[in-house]
């Protein structure tokens, strides 16, 4: 393995593909997926359940978080993807997502909404003052021309 890439063993590839293709079948919490000791995690979880500790119990949460933290740490250190992928996430309630709207006006501060038109050529405020988008394009054109001229002179001798 070099610094640039890691080739996975065949077993890991198979596990990876199986996991990716089998999202419906496998139902385990996320901490189990990225654990290098999934069986132990489940064993502790079941044992705490048998003791009558509910899933919301503080003791149960504490014990499991300890097991989870250690497992994740070992898992990351060992790069043990095969074990991480033996089981895939439980049908847990998904956290809320948000949308990136791509509409510059939607959250623009009210005092600027009327002063700038996003559809038109907006005058850009420059540190030196007064530059515009067109001026930038012009500067670019000028740079291009200068570059081409230099290249021509160099090539032409």
Site for other proteins in 117-146 (CB under 8 A): 118-122, 124-127, 133, 136-137, 139-140, 143-144
Cβ pair 60, 54 in contact under 8 A: yes
Residues 85-124, mask of contacts with other proteins (x by CB under 8 A): x--xx----xxxxxxxxxxxxxxxx--x-----xxxxx-x
Cβ pair 36, 75 in contact under 8 A: yes
Radius of gyration of the chain (CA): 29
Q: How far is the CB of 101 from other proteins (least distance, A)?
A: 5
The rounded Cα 125 to chain-centroid distance in angstroms is 33
- Give the DSSP H/E element, type plus range, for residue 116: none
69 binds other proteins (CB under 8 A): no
User: Distance (Å, rounded) from C-alpha 153 to C-alpha 149?
Assistant: 6
Q: For residues 52 and 152, which CB has a smaller minimum distance to other proteins in the complex?
A: 152
Q: How far is the CB of 38 from other proteins (least distance, A)?
A: 14
Cβ pair 26, 87 in contact under 8 A: yes
Number of chain residues interacting with other proteins (CB under 8 A): 56
User: Distance (Å, rounded) from C-alpha 82 to C-alpha 33?
Assistant: 9
Name the site residues for other proteins (rule: CB under 8 A): 3-8, 13, 16-17, 19-20, 23, 30, 33-34, 75-76, 79, 81, 84-85, 88-89, 94-109, 112, 118-122, 124-127, 133, 136-137, 139-140, 143-144
């Amino acid at each position: 393995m070099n610094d640039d890439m890691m080739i996975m063993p065949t077993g890991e590839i198979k596990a990876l593909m199986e996991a990716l293709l089998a999202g419906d079948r496998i139902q385990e919490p996320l901490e189990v997926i990225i654990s290098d000791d999934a069986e132990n995690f489940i064993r502790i979880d079941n044992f705490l359940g048998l003791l009558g500790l509910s899933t919301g119990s503080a003791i149960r949460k504490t014990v499991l978080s300890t097991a989870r933290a250690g497992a994740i740490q070992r898992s990351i250190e060992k790069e043990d993807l095969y074990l991480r992928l033996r089981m895939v996430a439980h049908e847990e309630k998904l956290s809320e997502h948000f949308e990136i709207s791509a509409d510059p006006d939607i959250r623009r501060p009210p005092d600027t909404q009327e002063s700038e038109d996003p559809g038109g050529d907006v005058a850009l405020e420059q540190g030196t003052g007064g530059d515009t988008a067109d001026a930038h394009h012009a500067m670019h054109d000028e740079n291009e021309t200068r570059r081409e001229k230099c290249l021509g002179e160099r090539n032409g001798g």
